[in-house]
Amino acid sequence: MKLLYKHIKKDFLAKKTMMAILSLFLIGTSFLHYFVHFSVDKNLKIYRNLDQSALAENELKFINALEINKVLIRNMSSAMIVVFLLILFLFLTNTIKKNQAKVGLLQSLGFTTWDIARHTFTLLSVVSWITALIGAFTGFFGSSILISAYKKTYMVESLSKGISFAAFIYPFAWASLIDIVTLIAYALSANKEAALLMKKADSSAGKPGFVEKFIGFFKMKGGYKYKLTLKNISELFLLVTAIVTFGIMFVLSVSLLLSSREIMGSQREGREYSYVTEYDEVRNAEESTADEGNTDIVPPDSAGDISYYLRYNAAIDHDGEKISYNIIGTDSNNELFSLYDKKHNKIDLSNEPGVVLNPELAENYGIKVGDKLSIEVNGRAVEIEATNLARNAGIKSMYISKEKLAALMDVDNAAYNGVWSNASLDESASTLYEDKMEALSRDQTSNKASAIINQSIGVATGCLLIFLAIFIGLSGNTESILIFDLLGYDNKKINSILLDPYLIVSNIIFFLSIPICIYAARKIQINTSFATGDYMPFQVSGFTIVYMFVILNLICFLVRAVFTRKIKKIIEGEKQAEYLSEW
Amino acid sequence: MGNIILEAKSISKKFDERNVLNEVSLSIEKGHFIAILGHSGSGKSTLLNVLSTILTPTNGEVLYNGKSITRYSKREIANLRRDKIGFVFQHYMLLPNLTVRENIFLGAEKRDVYEHDKTDMSEIEKLSALLGIDKYLDEYPYKLSGGEQQRVCIARAVAKNPEILFCDEATGALDKDNSINIVKLLHEIKKKFGTTIFFTTHNREIAKTADRVLVLEDGNIINDYMNDEIIEPDAMAWGI
């Protein structure tokens, strides 16, 4: 049995590119897992065991961020493992098909398919354990980056590295999934009698497959090239999976990066004030200014420009779900704060018959302009129509004219509980807007720090995936390339017949998959927004597509170079016949 | 009857509704060299594959030492192949990433004593000397000629001391001298170990060296005879 294992080990390890990429994929995934867990588990346990009521706001936010990161990494690593298992399955079925004569021989020598599968998954399990160990080692050291980000963001001290037993074991348990996939691959690909395996008899051989029928249906010019190149539907499926995965990861990571910038930009736009003053109770502007005895409030004339607003807690009833928001009533004719629509046109609230929404409500909840909203404002149920979207609406805020809100809430037109101003009005209630922006900036980066790192590694993994998919695809053409070489075709012609179509198809798949990638990335980002409680505006532009296109073609170029080198080696060594007759 | 090692009872084999073997019945005595003669597509390889358990008949049954093996489980079939049956293939089928010694040992019965169990390894060396490949034991197969690779294939099949050796066109890829040597070797193995040997071929001269000849055409045995005058492999009139 040791010889069987030795043979299988040598056979798999000889597929250097494939094994290296599969291992890198696993290392990347386990690194992500350990990177987050080493920075989260122990600290979360410590903070959960503390008296929650005694914790400061930054510490509560820290606990929340740790929990969110755990959810994000679980989803991320699960998705990556699913993709990995799919690739592994395709790799194994292709390898078994190519080696079916050897499988047949081993069966004739008295080994069962189970014996062969068992030794294969033993090998793959060993590889997956080694990659998990490397991931654990690098993740342990890498987690310092996240811990230092937590310290800076949440101003929490004495953080330490630590991982729960279950989280530590998790990547090692992936081996059992690998075992199952290996067994399925053998059961499906080697489930033939030994004699048929040895003769490489394939009952479907010679019959036109889906690709042949598809090309035949369209009677494409030069269609024979595509028939030769894309003869294996599973390779095509792998390529589609790779490109879509890469596309989703890329769009998502760019969008996450840009969304912070977008949020910060939108929260500065239209704001000319320096201070925000908010009160718990509603006041009256006229009374405040007339009340000379009130020393808490700096009179408007000595405070420079000021603008009063009304702010109430609101709960939007959306399909039975309550969305907690603020409703702000303000006047349009003030110099300190203006709302802008998506086209950067100033919104005149006095001309808006209803409420002006935050884009989050449209993007994440699907509320449209024209929808009638049932809103509970400070405990009072009202029905208001959504009449516009303000790109620079405050976080969790929607707007209405102050006059209308006052009427809805039965308060005086001059009532207010918030003031925008350029000078501090009340030491106990005024906040410098720059301080608010700084806190927002911290939240933006911290809540997404690990998401962005994860996505970036996801993109790198996606690139590996594409490399793998194209390499597998091109490798499937090795025999055809060598036959064409023996028939006297020159390299340029061979490449144009057997390699270029694959690269053209990769680009076609890329362009066709763009809408799918954008749709899926948007959905994931919305779900991440819900999970983190932060609105992350989805950002995609033409540049994102151009970058993806360039990266895809760089990978194609690289694979082509690696592959042609491999072929050149066979041809220069005059080993074409040997390769073709390999049983 | 006690001397019958293998029996086929009305075995048929169909591929995609095409009959390749039609209700073939036969009994094989222990220690015989049986040549299965026929042209391409006659069904000789299919018969050999069905008898050797690497192909299941569509109908009928195969009995090994009087026991039906057609309904054996995969594990039982694997054990039978491991312990009692050896194969020699036209294209040798040596694993390129194992040395000659390892290839031979892969076919041996006691696989678990690979760790240089002296007894077993010395058996391998004796066998290799008999087959004239002892000097290549630590080489990889690609360094060997076709004839040498076929001898390694025979060594692999014989290392376990099988009761039956199935040779499918074992000389099909070899030149005259190598072919004669291989046939001679197989006869020596038969004599030395009492192995029953099946040998498919389209070469009538090889058939003349056999104890018994089965002639196949369109999946039927059209002739089944014992050779009255068995010739020595050296006496084969090659190329005629």
Kind plus residue range of the DSSP H or E element containing B148 = helix B146-158
Q: Does any CB of chain B come closer than 8 Å to the CB of residue A195?
A: yes
User: In this model, does residue B95 exceed pLDDT 60?
Assistant: yes
Determine contact, residues A100/A482, Cβ cutoff 8 Å: no
- CB < 8 Å to B85, chain A: 108
The 3-class SS string of A290-348 reads HCCCCCCCCCHHHCCCEEEEEEEEEEEEECCEEEEEEEEEECCCCCCECEECCCCCEEC
CATH code, residues B4-235: 3.40.50.300
| pLDDT for the residue A451 | 63
Residues with pLDDT less than 50, chain A: 290-303
Q: Which of B81, B85, B105 sits opposite A3 (nearest CB)?
A: B105
What pairs with residue B153 in β-bridges? none
Q: How far apart are CA A397 and CA A389, in angstroms?
A: 11
Look at residue A578 and give its three-state secondary structure.
Answer: helix
Q: Does any CB of chain B come closer than 8 Å to the CB of residue A202?
A: no
Q: Does any CB of chain A come closer than 8 Å to the CB of residue B97?
A: yes
Q: How far apart are CA A205 and CA A199, in angstroms?
A: 12
How far is C-alpha A513 from the chain's CA centre? 16
| pLDDT for the residue A324 | 86
A201-238 pLDDT, tens digit per residue, is: 555 555 666 666 776 776 666 677 777 777 677 778 87
Contact flag B97-A11 (C-beta cutoff 8 Å)? yes
Q: Does any CB of chain B come closer than 8 Å to the CB of residue A492?
A: no
Q: Under 8 Å CB-to-CB from B202, ≥6 apart: which residues?
A: B37, B38, B39, B40, B169
Contact flag A3-B102 (C-beta cutoff 8 Å)? yes
Measured in angstroms, the CA of A16 and the nearest CA of chain B are apart by: 15
Q: How far apart are CA A50 and CA A48, in angstroms?
A: 5
Interface subset of A 289-348, CB within 8 angstroms of B: none
Buried/exposed B180-191: b ≥16 CB within 10 Å, e otherwise: bbbbebbbebbe
Amino acid at A555: I
Tokens found for residue A47: 């903070």
Q: What percent of chain B has pLDDT over 70?
A: 92
Q: Under 8 Å CB-to-CB from A448, ≥6 apart: which residues?
A: A256, A259, A260, A532, A534, A536
Q: Which of B82, B91, B114 sits opposite A583 (nearest CB)?
A: B91
| pLDDT for the residue A294 | 46
Measured in angstroms, the CA of A206 and the nearest CA of chain B are apart by: 14
- Nearest CA among A5, A454, A108 for reference residue A257: A454
- Nearest-Cα residue of chain B relative to residue A191: B74
Interface subset of B 35-54, CB within 8 angstroms of A: 49, 52, 54
What pairs with residue A276 in β-bridges? A420, A431
Rounded (10°) angle between helices B146-158 and B176-193: 10
Look at residue B226 and give its three-state secondary structure.
Answer: strand
Q: Does any CB of chain B come closer than 8 Å to the CB of residue A104?
A: yes
Give the residue extent of every domain in chain B.
4-235
Measured in angstroms, the CA of B7 and the nearest CA of chain A are apart by: 20
Q: Which of A10, A193, A578 sits opposite B54 (nearest CB)?
A: A193
Amino acid at A112: T
Q: How far apart are CA A562 and CA A95, in angstroms?
A: 20
- CB < 8 Å to B98, chain A: 3, 6-7, 10
Q: Does any CB of chain B come closer than 8 Å to the CB of residue A228?
A: no
| pLDDT for the residue A302 | 40
Backbone angles phi, psi at A108, to 5 degrees: -65, -25
Q: Which of A109, A198, A582 to mutate to test the interface with B (most CBs of B within 10 A)?
A: A109
Measured in angstroms, the CA of B168 and the nearest CA of chain A are apart by: 11
User: In this model, does residue B192 exceed pLDDT 60?
Assistant: yes
Measured in angstroms, the CA of A19 and the nearest CA of chain B are apart by: 17
Measured in angstroms, the CA of A577 and the nearest CA of chain B are apart by: 13
Contact flag B74-A14 (C-beta cutoff 8 Å)? no
Phi-psi region of B218 (alpha: psi -120 to 50; beta: other; left: phi over 0): left
- pLDDT, mean of residues B179-197: 89
Contact flag A109-B82 (C-beta cutoff 8 Å)? yes
- Nearest CA among A122, A172, A165, A242 for reference residue A552: A242
- CB < 8 Å to A108, chain B: 52, 54, 81, 85, 87
How high does pLDDT run on average in chain B? 86
**Per-residue DSSP letter, A394:** P
Q: How far apart are CA A259 and CA A540, in angstroms?
A: 10
Residue B107's pLDDT band (cuts 50, 70, 90): confident
Residue with the two structure tokens 């990547």: A171
Q: Does any CB of chain B come closer than 8 Å to the CB of residue A212?
A: no
Contact flag A193-B78 (C-beta cutoff 8 Å)? no
Q: Which of B13, B87, B93 to mutate to test the interface with A (most CBs of A within 10 A)?
A: B93
Q: How far apart are CA A534 and CA A537, in angstroms?
A: 9
Q: How far apart, in Å, are the Cα atoms of A47 and each of A119, A167, A258, B32, B122?
A: 45, 18, 31, 83, 68
